[in-house]
């Protein structure tokens, strides 16, 4: 049985059906972060049900709609967390609400399958088929392109990184080179690195898609890696296990965790004055740069570990490569026409 941190979602832990649902999902192999996000979503839903006196076993769609409305209107701490929400100054972000609806729908699907409910109150959107009208989902999806810094902001980020310890500078370089999610970065082990070919082997259990893949690192990362190997050997006396280890007195020699890496990047972003920069921005930048370098959609998807090519297409559009190519073709056509017209002046 997969272990779950029940203290993160006490209402789920104290509800028999919700607890069995989350444990069931975890035992089936759902990613730990996804399972925790789903647990928080249903915990929030149970909180709302308690506040309005609704029973999850009998409530109807109007309670779901009221919960969504409350999520869209509640304070989101925008002033305190400027870089977290940009689509509204009130309410949870569209992406968070979408995720929570999916989680709560999954919970009610479990209740239906378990025989505790007859129908799922969280309806799905449906595309139109055989001439039928499409059915709109509960909340319209807002598609936003990933944010990446301009060159001036990127230079400020790198300037702020120069004062960081060697380990942190290597983490920054590898996060960009490999387009790594934070979970993938902190779980790299020394045996995953192949210096001769400048490759990092990402094990399936460390990736979001549960698919192993290889990513490359560049010359700067290779130089930092050699220096860090020397420093790591001097500090900890071993060259095995997790690559990135803590040097703090309290956790000396322990692997760097997700939140430690997040705090490091938040500190860099604050010193650089680029508050929107996050651990995931390195990934957005690398994939956009691959698109600008004319890598194919399939190649970018493979490098990123995307299951769905529609996700990869975001980076193609963000790179502007299609727009640039269309602009060049259009200008070439106009240029030829102008040249043809001017040619009439040669032999009047």
User: Dihedral angle at the C-alpha atoms of 235, 237, 243, 248, nearest 10 degrees?
Assistant: -30
φ, ψ of residue 199 to 5 degrees: the values are: -125, 150
So what's the pLDDT on residue 129?
58
Residue 242: strand, helix, or coil: strand
So what's the pLDDT on residue 84?
42
Residue 201: strand, helix, or coil: strand
So what's the pLDDT on residue 92?
83
So what's the pLDDT on residue 157?
95
For the chain, the average pLDDT equals 86
The ranges of the chain with pLDDT < 70 are 76-90, 125-137, 142-143, 317-327, 329-330, 335, 339, 344, 347-348
So what's the pLDDT on residue 324?
67
So what's the pLDDT on residue 168?
96
Neighbouring-strand partners of residue 113: none
So what's the pLDDT on residue 319?
64
pTM: 0.72
Task: Decide if 4 contacts 23 (C-beta within 8 A).
Answer: yes
305: left (phi over 0), alpha (psi -120 to 50) or beta: left
Q: Which tokens belong to 45?
A: 């839903």
Task: Decide if 173 contacts 225 (C-beta within 8 A).
Answer: no
So what's the pLDDT on residue 140?
76
Determine what percent of the chain is predicted with pLDDT higher than 90.
61
Pairing of β 213-216 and β 193-194 = unpaired
So what's the pLDDT on residue 83?
41
Render pLDDT for 174-187 as a digit per residue (tens, 0 to 9). 999 999 999 999 99
Measured CA to CA, the distance from residue 313 to residue 272 in angstroms comes to 30
């Amino acid at each position: 049985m997969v272990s779950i941190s029940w203290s993160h979602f006490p209402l789920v832990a104290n509800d028999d059906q919700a607890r069995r649902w989350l444990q069931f999902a975890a035992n089936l192999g759902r990613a730990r972060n996804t399972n925790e996000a789903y647990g928080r979503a249903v915990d929030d839903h149970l909180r709302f049900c308690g506040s309005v006196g609704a029973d999850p076993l009998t409530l109807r769609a109007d309670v779901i709609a009221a919960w969504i409305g409350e999520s869209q209107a509640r304070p989101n701490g925008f002033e305190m967390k400027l870089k977290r929400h940009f689509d509204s100054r009130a309410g949870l972000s569209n992406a968070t609400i979408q995720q929570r609806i999916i989680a709560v729908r999954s919970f009610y699907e479990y209740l239906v399958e378990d025989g505790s409910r007859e129908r799922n109150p969280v309806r799905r959107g449906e595309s139109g088929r055989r001439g039928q009208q499409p059915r709109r989902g509960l909340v319209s999806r807002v598609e936003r392109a990933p944010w990446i810094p301009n060159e001036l902001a990127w230079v400020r980020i790198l300037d702020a990184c120069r004062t960081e310890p060697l380990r942190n500078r290597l983490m920054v370089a590898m996060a960009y080179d490999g387009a790594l999610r934070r979970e993938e970065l902190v779980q790299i082990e020394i045996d995953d690195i192949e210096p001769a070919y400048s490759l990092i082997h990402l094990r399936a259990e460390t990736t979001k898609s549960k698919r192993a893949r290889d990513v490359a690192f560049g010359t700067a990362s290779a130089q930092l890696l050699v220096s860090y190997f020397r420093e790591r050997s001097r500090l900890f006396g071993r060259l095995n296990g997790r690559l990135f280890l803590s040097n703090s007195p309290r956790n000396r020699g322990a692997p760097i965790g997700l939140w430690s890496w997040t705090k490091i990047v938040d500190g860099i972003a604050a010193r650089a004055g680029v508050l929107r920069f996050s651990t995931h921005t390195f990934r957005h930048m690398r994939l956009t740069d691959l698109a600008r370098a004319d890598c194919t959609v399939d190649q970018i998807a493979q490098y990123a570990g995307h299951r769905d090519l529609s996700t990869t297409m975001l980076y193609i559009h963000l790179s502007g490569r299609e727009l640039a190519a269309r602009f060049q073709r259009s200008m070439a056509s106009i240029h030829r026409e102008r040249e043809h017209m001017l040619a009439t002046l040669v032999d009047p």
